[in-house]
Amino acid sequence: MIAPIVLALALVAGDADAARRDLDALEARTDAPRVDLVRGAARAMDDLPQAEGNERAARLLDRALRLDPGKVKGTWSYVSRLYRRVREDGDAKTGVPFLEDLIELYPAQAPRYSRDLAYLLLDSSRPYEAREAFEALLVLDPSDIDAAHAVANIDEMLGDTDAALERYATLMEDRGDVRAGIMRINLLWRVRGEIQAARLLEPQMNRLVRDIPDETERNRLGRDLEAEMGALKQAHRTSEGLRSLTGRQTTLLLVIAGAWIAVLVGLGRWVNRAG
């Protein structure tokens, strides 16, 4: 059983070495036609280890697209395949420059590739760069609510609660975004401890939910809002209970202290009379 496995591994290694030699020769050619570059990208993804194959394929596809950006037939499936690979691997080293090239080459598709770029950066634990990418996407497409939510989420993740609250408030007030309103309430009471401010938003939120035209969406967000407000009100009751308990404890301690003082004063007088 061992011999076939060793042979298979040797064949795989041999295929990779042969692919490297052929691809080195292809990349050295300044006059390589688009079809050869595309086939080379496919071979890189098929025969080389994942990260190396991604990097080689990205270079070759970039060259193929730049030769004639208008002719993408037969190329786009490989572009999509490469993007899926770098996204699944979190391969920002290859994916980021590749997507930046696509944004440059295809301005009409810039929102799509900008969104892909932003999420790849976020998935690769590069939140500051991801935030910049989402902000750039909002310049291209101000109506992209998911991008606006992503910016607010990143602000919250980075500890900038004020910026996150401002973004959620804008989405809620200007666009009637119920999801943003729920996140605003959540941040106000769970992070900032501003329970009363969060509770004051409930009537407005109920109106926004009622105005949602799609029944399924209205019911789903209505349940989410009800759960959030239920947790908030429970926290408020607990807080009030603790505050009341603290007040009663203080009163009890004062009564006990007063009683001890009275005992001590009485004891002092008794000692003086006895003396």
The answer, yes or no, to whether residue 166 has pLDDT greater than 60, is yes
- Rounded distance, CA 98 to CA 87, Å? 12
- Rounded distance, CA 131 to CA 209, Å? 29
Q: Model confidence at 275, in pLDDT bands (50, 70, 90)?
A: low
Over residues 27-83, the pLDDT tens digits come to 999 999 988 999 999 999 999 998 899 999 999 999 988 887 766 666 878 888 888
Return mean pLDDT, the chain: 83
Q: What percent of the chain has pLDDT over 70?
A: 80
Return the higher-pLDDT residue of 240 and 191: 191
Segment of 105-109, 112-116, 217-221 carrying the highest mean pLDDT: 217-221
- Range with the poorest average pLDDT among 137-141, 158-162, 238-242: 238-242
Q: Model confidence at 11, in pLDDT bands (50, 70, 90)?
A: very low
Over residues 16-28, the pLDDT tens digits come to 999 999 999 999 9
Q: Which token pair is 232?
A: 């908030």
The answer to whether the CB of 140 falls within 8 A of the CB of 114 is yes
How many other β-carbons are positioned within 10 Å of the β-carbon of residue 147? 23
**How much is the average pLDDT of 261-269?**
50
pLDDT at residue number 221: 95
Q: Which token pair is 129?
A: 């760069």
The dotted CATH code for 143-232 is 1.25.40
Q: Model confidence at 10, in pLDDT bands (50, 70, 90)?
A: very low
pLDDT at residue number 251: 55
Per domain, the residue ranges of the chain are 143-232
pLDDT at residue number 8: 34
pLDDT at residue number 244: 54
The answer, yes or no, to whether residue 4 has pLDDT greater than 90, is no
Return the higher-pLDDT residue of 271 and 70: 70
**How much is the average pLDDT of 104-122?**
89
pLDDT at residue number 12: 41
The answer, yes or no, to whether residue 228 has pLDDT greater than 50, is yes
The answer, yes or no, to whether residue 102 has pLDDT greater than 50, is yes
Over residues 192-208, the pLDDT tens digits come to 889 899 999 999 999 99
Q: Where are the alpha helices (DSSP H) in 29-126?
A: 34-47, 50-67, 76-89, 92-105, 110-123
Q: Model confidence at 152, in pLDDT bands (50, 70, 90)?
A: very high
pTM: 0.71
Q: How far is CA 84 from CA 63, 88, 113, 118, 214, in A?
A: 19, 6, 13, 15, 33
Quickly tell me which residue has 């009471």 as its tokens.
189
pLDDT at residue number 245: 47
**How much is the average pLDDT of 166-178?**
95
